[in-house]
Amino acid sequence: MRAPAFLTTWLLTFAVAASAAAMGGALLLDRDLRRERAGAAARAEMDAFIDGKLVRQVEGTDAPAVMKGLVGQAGSHGASDMTAEVARFRAESSQAARGDRVFLYRRGALVSGSQTVWPAEPRAFGQGLARLRLVDGGEAIAAQHRFANGDTLLIGRRVEQVDPLSGRVLRIGGLTLLGLIAAGGAIGWLFSIGYSRRLRAITEACEQVEAGRMSARAPDAERSDEFGLLARNVNRMLDRVARYVEGMRDVSDEIAHDLRTPLNRVQTRLLAVGETLGPARNPDLDLATQDLRDLGRVIDDFLWLREIESGQGGETSFFDLKALAEQVAEDHALLAHDAKSVTLTVEGEATEVMGVKSLLIRALDNIVGNAVKFTPAQGTITVRALRAGDTVELVVEDTGPGLPDDLLSRAIQPGVRGPHAGAGHGLGLAIAACVARRHGGDVTLENRAEGGLRVRLRLPAPRP
């Protein structure tokens, strides 16, 4: 089943959006990981630095002299052991300006370190950390320490630029894309299941009407989506078809009833004329009488078929299906053997079924009669009664010519005849199928691989 255009468009759009989202998410995640790594390094350096002598000196009495050294001004740095500390800070600040480290010290308006401008409005980034925008456009994550005298120290690390083609970005993006594709595929699969289920339900309703169940309708017609609209339109069409068919059936019933009386009257008069003329009567008179008799049988079969469809036909009871098959086979066996040397046998085991026995006798009689009619001389006909799961079956197999494949599903419709039908009106299998439907079963036809036709009459097995 091909997906509709809107579903294909949705899947393509989802794939493009998923790819973009996966790459964007990978870039953002990689950037955040780089920021976290820079922040961890900055916090570790600050913790190590504030434990040193320089910080204690800045907070002591020699703070002005130390500050001059930190900001690069000449002058005494106080205690002689602080000269090395100040020199180390200035050297690290100079290296940081060329690398990924950031050292900044501010006292009032004086700024010393890796740049001469204090960052504007640092943004908080976790506990004790700030996100800085440097003068060269780069980004840094820094730890900040404020001294008791109001001075501020920043020690941080630059955040590495995100490379869209780096291995980590590609791995994260690939895994994210696979996850999104899997999620989208699952959503599309679930959507297609619902779409297929509802469309299949509408198709099955149409097939049931085609098979003769004119009351079948598409479900979910009350829903407000596209499938609900389709179901409503299909049901309106089926309602019109049912009205047309019912009207034709009513007209056919009236015609059949109206024809039965005059046909019987004409047939009676022809028989009376034939008896009056005796041996001198024209042979065509006998042919006309036979034609009227055949036409009368067709009308009777047609009216009987309508009675079955309307639910009439007798009371239900339990009986043995194999015994019924033996009874019908006995009625045909002698004629089949004498006329064409056809062997008719019954197989299987006792199988109980519940139904209208007279109707099932008529149905099986029609099926076996067709088999006798089309089985050539020296052929065989086998009738089997068996139980298969929740159903019981009567299977009739013959060694006749079979049917063309395009007729196998239509041969049970009234008026449909096979290429070898000869005399007949196409009601025998239609009556059998109608009887099966009356009992909640069906009739199917299939050609046997070794030649001949197999007719299967299925009925629901009685519950224990």
- Same structural domain for residues 153 and 14? yes
Most confident of 88-102, 119-133, 221-235, 309-323: 221-235
- Same structural domain for residues 59 and 160? yes
Tell me the per-residue pLDDT of 346-370, one tens digit each, with 9 for 90 and over: 999 888 898 888 889 888 998 998 8
- Same structural domain for residues 137 and 250? no
Q: How confident is the model at residue 20 (pLDDT cuts 50, 70, 90)?
A: low
Written as one letter, the residue type at 424 is G
Question: Which region among 18-32, 74-88, 351-365, 429-443 has the lowest average model confidence (pLDDT)?
Answer: 74-88
- Same structural domain for residues 101 and 19? yes
Most confident of 10-14, 179-183, 192-196, 391-395: 391-395
Residue 194, domain member (yes or no): no
Residue 396, domain member (yes or no): yes
Question: Which region among 115-124, 170-179, 308-317, 423-432 has the lowest average model confidence (pLDDT)?
Answer: 170-179
pLDDT for position 396: 95
**369, 363 contact by CB (below 8 A):** no
Residue whose C-alpha is closest to residue 261's, from 289, 287, 300, 291:
300
Distance (Å, rounded) from C-alpha 195 to C-alpha 184?
16
- Same structural domain for residues 54 and 161? yes
- Same structural domain for residues 94 and 24? yes
| Token pair belonging to 254 | 């009236």
| Token pair belonging to 362 | 């008529």
- Same structural domain for residues 300 and 412? no
- Strands 343-348, 380-388: pairing kind: parallel
Residue 192, domain member (yes or no): no
pTM for the model stands at 0.47
Residue 72, domain member (yes or no): yes
Question: In which domain, by residue range, is 85 found?
Answer: 5-167
Which of 291, 312, 333 lies at the terminal end of a domain, its last residue? 312
For the residues of 206-243, what is the DSSP string, one character each? Answer: HHHHHTT-TT---S-TT-SSHHHHHHHHHHHHHHHHHH
pLDDT for position 73: 44
- Same structural domain for residues 120 and 255? no
- Same structural domain for residues 20 and 155? yes
- When divided into structural domains, the chain yields a total of 3
Residue 196, domain member (yes or no): no
Asked if pLDDT for residue 403 goes beyond 80, the answer is yes
Residue 207, domain member (yes or no): no
Residue whose C-alpha is closest to residue 285's, from 272, 299, 297:
272
**182, 162 contact by CB (below 8 A):** no
Residue 230, domain member (yes or no): yes
CATH code for the domain in which residue 401 is found: 3.30.565.10
- Same structural domain for residues 20 and 163? yes
Distance (Å, rounded) from C-alpha 368 to C-alpha 383?
8
Asked if pLDDT for residue 63 goes beyond 50, the answer is no
Asked if pLDDT for residue 54 goes beyond 60, the answer is no
Residue 155, domain member (yes or no): yes
Name 382's bridge partners.
345, 397
Mean pLDDT to the nearest integer, 248-255: 68
The more confident residue out of 451 and 225 is 451
Percent of the chain surpassing pLDDT 70: 67
